Amino acid sequence: MSLYLVSFSGRLEAHAEATRAELRKWGATNLWDDTWVVEMDRAPEECLPGFVQTEAAFAMPLQGADMFFSIGRAAGVPAQLVYTEHVAPQLLAADRGGALATIRYCNGGEAVFARAVDHYLATRRDSVWATDLCRLMAGHGSDKGIGWHTYTPFYQALFLGRRETLTALFELGLGTNNEDTPSNMGRHGTPGASLRGWRDFFPNARIYGADVDRRVLFAEDRIETFFVDQCDAETFAAMWAKLPDVELDVFVDDGLHTFDAARLTLDHAIGRVKSGGHYIIEDVLRQDVDAYLGLIAARGLPGMSIDIDHPANIYDNCLVVAAIP
């Protein structure tokens, strides 16, 4: 048994209450707010239901040097920035010698993505500071760049030199905060956050989005959104009928996050991405990366996967990307 200092955000109430209930079962002592001392036979992130899902969690053994520290939307942007720029680099350096990512390729993807990958790796070795895309996404409430996911430094490299020329981007999954919808963000999520971040990053692009939850659809300057169900091919046909002439530079699948939904979406969306564009699948579970990359390989497209090292998110900080010849 080891003694741990544990603290977490209470903003995501259901997850926080699950953690509190489990801490009480373990005989934990509540010091103040949601800061506890508890003796456990395994690490708190393994034993406490809801702990990681609070999106802002900290656990430190009171003997030894190992530490668990997770920050997400619930912590707020200033805390996420401090975590990204100051805390996470220390944890990563101690954990894995500063390794940045595990990258795999298919169908000649190494040659296609070499420039972006090399730029990303070189930049992240030299600097841990949040990029402008990180700050744009975080400012709108998206978790793509700092906190639980860390994609935006890679996106900054992938889209290097294209900010002014990219004209159309589509992201599936607006991020509903209605908790009766699968893969929701919880009530503290901000629907449409990523779309607004993309709009601000690409000043000449129209941004399109879609979601299964009609309640979060919206329209703003250079943003249009539509209904689609990733498990129903007919809804894709109906959506594309409303966009008959749109050719996309980028398609991002940040939707249901199941393999079958990703495969159906790929079948009905990749044909809309023009030559020179990219098709991206986000939040791929680490154990499923090869299967998702296999979807790209089976189509004969140059592809890559990147599993970005993270001190807390050892689950789904992974992307799969296809280049359209």
Are residues 318 and 172 part of one domain? yes
25 and 137 share one domain: no
User: Phi, psi at residue 134, to the nearest 5°?
Assistant: -55, -50
pLDDT tens-digit series, residues 70-116:
777 777 788 888 877 877 777 765 444 557 899 999 999 999 999 99
66, 82, 108 — which closes off a domain? 66
108 lies in the same domain as 55: no
CA–CA gap between residue 146 and residue 285 (Å, rounded)? 18
Residue at token pair 């689609």: 228
Domain count along the chain: 2
**Co-location of 188 and 241 in the same domain:** yes
Q: What are the angstrom distances between the C-alpha of 200 and each of 120, 134, 164, 249, 272?
A: 21, 12, 11, 16, 23
Are residues 48 and 118 part of one domain? no
Which pTM does this prediction carry? 0.82
- Tell whether 159 is covered by a domain: yes
* Residue 199 forms part of a structural domain: yes
The 10s digit of each residue's pLDDT in 280-308 is: 999 999 999 999 999 999 999 999 999 99
Residue 249 lies in a domain: yes
- The position carrying tokens 């046909």 is 237
Rounded Cα distance, 295 and 313, in Å? 24
Rounded distance between C-alpha atoms, residue 249 and residue 251, angstroms: 7
Q: Indicate the residue type of 314.
A: I
108 and 167 housed in the same domain: yes
- From 320, 316, 319, select the one nearest 52 (Cα to Cα): 316
Select from 210, 232, 230 the least CA-distant residue to 219. 210
Do 124 and 46 share a domain, yes or no?
Answer: no
**217: in domain:** yes
In this structure, are 154 and 252 located in the same domain?
A: yes
Domain boundary among 16, 51, 66: 66
Query: Does one domain contain both 104 and 59?
Result: no
**Would you call 268 helix, strand, or coil by DSSP?**
helix
Q: What is the CATH number of the domain that holds 178?
A: 3.40.50.150
Expressed as residue numbers, the domain containing 55 is: 2-66
- Tell me what pLDDT residue 178 has: 73
E strand map for the chain: 2-8, 29-32, 35-40, 56-61, 68-71, 101-106, 168-172, 206-211, 223-227, 248-253, 273-281, 303-308, 318-323
Question: Residue 181 gets which letter from DSSP?
Answer: S
Does 136 share its domain with 209?
A: yes
In the predicted model, residues of the chain with pLDDT beneath 70 are: 64-65, 92-98, 183-188
